[in-house]
A and B are shown apart, each in its own frame.
Chain A
Amino acid sequence: MIRGFSPAILVLSLIFLVKALYLAFFVTPLWDIPDEIGHYSYALDIAEGRGIPKLGTSMIPAQVMEHVTHKSNMEPQGNQIAQHPPLYYILAAVPLKIGMSFTGDPEILFRLPRIIAAISGALLILVLYKTIKLIGLDDYRATLLGAAVGFIPMVSYLSSGTNHDMTLFLFSACGVFFFTRYIVTRHVRDVYLSAVWVTLAGGIKMTVWVIIPPLLLIYALEISGPVKYWFGHMIGVGALMLVSPVIWMSRNYALFADPVYTASTNTCRLLATPLPDTFFDYVRILPVYDNLLLHFYGLIGGIGSGGGIVKAFVIAGAPRAFFSLFLLVVALLLIVSLVQMLHKILCVPSESDGMVPFRFKVNEWFNRGSVRKGYFLFLLLLALISGSLIYLESHPATQFFGWFRIFFAVAIVVLGLTSILVLPFELKADNYIFLYSLIVFLFFSCILLSQLYGIYVNEGRFGAIHGRYFYPVLPFLVMAVSVSVQRLYINKLSLVLLVFLLVLMEMESFIIQALPFYEGGV
């Protein structure tokens, strides 16, 4: 038995691996994973020794295009996926390179890089389990929460294709593991290890760079010791986190004279006049939150290789209804947990762990009982008002269960904002993990939404609404939920019922919806 893992989580991780490999080699049609053509071609460039491809000159080979279109004499096409940093593709090239020395069968070779996503998904479950265990949750609950992620249809689906999202998810989870361990144990070595994983994740996809500023800020608040010591570590950790961004931006600058050059830099079709709509117009007119959440649960397909009318579909029916309920439960869990935390901090004598290095210390005036209780009520009122305003400014749900999804989205915003206002208080380690997780998640969400809004006003399209974009910060949300489960003593039966339904709904999603779609059905 591998040290530190329960037999159950090992079995569940193994089942996930076998399931993902089975889907990869026998079920998920080739190229029906988002941008799989481009991801494969990038890995092929590396496997065949052409090095890291250059955006603009990198091509999708004719052989791949012929396989995609079922037509002969196809021309190579430009590969916009070359905009991404290379780390994932170096990994994906390994099974491809090995396979190329054994077989020339394209049906096998095209699928070989998929192995990396399957392994990433299986390892992700183990890393999440270990991270959850750090906060002291028992084996049973940690296994349920860690394994639950593996039963989100989109996670299983992406684990069966050539794409960087699952490896990105894994590396981000490793970063969150060391982040959590630092908050719990205060060994500064863990800060550096988390920085290593963040920079590695940044070497897969640029979106991870977004979490570097909030993480640095958190470490600035958390690292204790003399100023010289603090300053030295901050420089060290900052430099480490910025390794991959600096390397990739330098390359972009050298090649394109633009450090953040991407496929859309020159190719996006800008409107002559940007739309006059504000951000609130954008989220009121369009179902932004709803689509992000639905696509997070399951947006299956891409090119509709099954031959049916539909090229991709969003999982619907009972699984969608259950997922909406699941989100409602998660939102309520987080809300109750935060309110309970606030009540304990502000209405019950301090529960300090005595470790408040660079945090802002609450002054004596603020420590008066009546003032603290007033602040408690103020926070509740603020959360209620801001929540209501955001709710009213959101695109209304068209279905009953849609309201649960909107509620979840609004809750995430309000919880993140409220968490910032709780930070100055002395808290236990798990409380900080909870608050920081919500803040980092919110920060990332805001940046993502601002990018999506930019696409809307500048290009006039409702695009890039992908739930998988949240994978870099999803481990933070898992940690916030885990802390809530621990704080509120959620019993095993409720938890096991929820995860059981998650598995059942995932089975339904694949058996009833994805399989017929892959064969051309709707």
Chain B
Amino acid sequence: MLLFVWKRSLLMFALIALITSVIYLFWLYNRIGLSMDALLLHQTRVDTRPVGELTKDVILRQPLDLNSLSEIDSQDPNALVYLGVLMANYNNRQNKGSVLIGLEVDKRLEFNMVDVDVIKDNQYHYIGFENLTWSDLLSANSVEIILQGVDGESGSAVTAWATKDLSYGHLISDPHLLDRSLLFRLGVENKSSMRDVHVLFLLVFGLIAIFFLITQPARKIRALR
């Protein structure tokens, strides 16, 4: 049986480094969330403007061009769909109320009620749909993005950004067809079942390497009698 001779201080340092690494990566892995998944549709920003405050009863609809969806063929049909919409809160103003963000697929509305407090300025707000799969979208006859003010009041409501890139349809503010499109991202949560295994292996390789880099067992190996 062999025993490496370690330096105690290095061992402590190595342990601190290992714990730091695990905490950092765990925090990062959770923070990244939806943005790690497959992004299938997004537009470019051309002459972007806010759509106006999403106050009570303001409803914005954006029918999606379904041809653009059918061109994407490499996704798992059972993958869950998510939607991101570029929102703004008027330079971190104190806002109140909530907005509805959803997808209407063949008149079936899947949505989330979002408290405006959690909407960050000029950032995509992502919604995951637990009952909507990629195959649902592909087989649908109509898909619309819905953005609706629920109880917001002027002066304390949030807004969304719109672009002149009309690749994926026009925005409708009933009854008007606007010459702009919501800035949105549509994707699927296609995390494979193997990803966690890969993460574990890569983590193990990295942590063993850190341990050996820091502690570096002494050249002499002593045999225990």
Contact = CB atoms under 8 A, between A and B. Distances in A.
A306 to B, nearest CB: 8
Contacts of B28: 508, 511-512
Nearest to A517: B36
Nearest to B201: A22
A322 to B, nearest CB: 12
A308 B21 CA distance: 29
B219 A7 contact: yes
Nearest to B17: A500
B1 interface: no
A168 to B, nearest CB: 24
Contacts of A22: 201, 205
Given A139-B219, A147-B213, A307-B74, A521 B17 contact: no
Interface in B140-182: none
B202 interface: yes
Interface string A89-108: 00000000000000000000
Contacts of B35: 521-522
A304 B203 CA distance: 24
Interface string A302-337: 000011110000000000000000000000000000
A522 B84 CA distance: 14
Contact of B190 (A8, A504, A511, A520): A520
A520 B74 contact: yes
A511 B38 contact: no
A15 B209 contact: yes
Contact of A500 (B203, B214, B216): B214
Interface in A282-310: 306-309
Contacts of B190: 519-521
Interface residues of B, number: 43
A366 interface: no
A520 B20 CA distance: 29
B213 A503 contact: yes
Interface in A475-522: 496, 499-500, 503-504, 506-508, 510-512, 515-516, 519-522
Interface in B186-224: 190-192, 194-195, 198-199, 201-203, 205-206, 208-210, 212-217, 219, 221
A8 B212 contact: yes
A511 B204 CA distance: 12
Given A7-B4, A507-B202, A512-B36, A147 B29 contact: no
Contact of A8 (B24, B42, B217): B217
Interface string B24-51: 1100110010011111101000000000
Query: Which of A16, A70, A309, A511 has the most B CB atoms < 10 Å from its CB?
Result: A511
Contact of B205 (A18, A306, A499, A500): A18
A151 B72 CA distance: 35
Contacts of A309: 39-40, 42
A316 to B, nearest CB: 12
Contacts of A466: none
Nearest to A310: B39
Contacts, number: 120
B216 A6 contact: yes
A15 B21 contact: no
A504 B201 contact: no
B39 A504 contact: no
A307 B213 contact: no
A12 interface: yes
Contacts of A306: 38
B9 to A, nearest CB: 10
Given A307-B74, A515-B199, A507 B214 contact: no
A504 B210 CA distance: 8
B192 to A, nearest CB: 5
Given A15-B209, A307-B38, A521-B38, A515 B195 contact: yes
B210 to A, nearest CB: 5
A26 interface: yes
Given A507-B202, A511-B25, A520 B210 contact: no
A329 to B, nearest CB: 17
Nearest to B36: A516
B213 A500 contact: yes
B38 A6 contact: no
Contacts of A70: 74
Contact of B213 (A8, A18, A506): A8
A151 B212 contact: no
A140 interface: yes
Contact of A496 (B20, B206, B213): B213
Complex A-B, nearest 5 residue pairs according to Cβ-Cβ distance, in ascending order: A307-B74, A520-B38, A516-B36, A8-B216, A507-B206
21 contacts: A6-B219, A7-B221, A22-B201, A27-B198, A144-B213, A147-B213, A307-B38, A308-B38, A308-B39, A309-B40, A496-B13, A504-B20, A507-B202, A507-B206, A510-B202, A511-B198, A515-B195, A519-B37, A519-B191, A519-B195, A521-B190
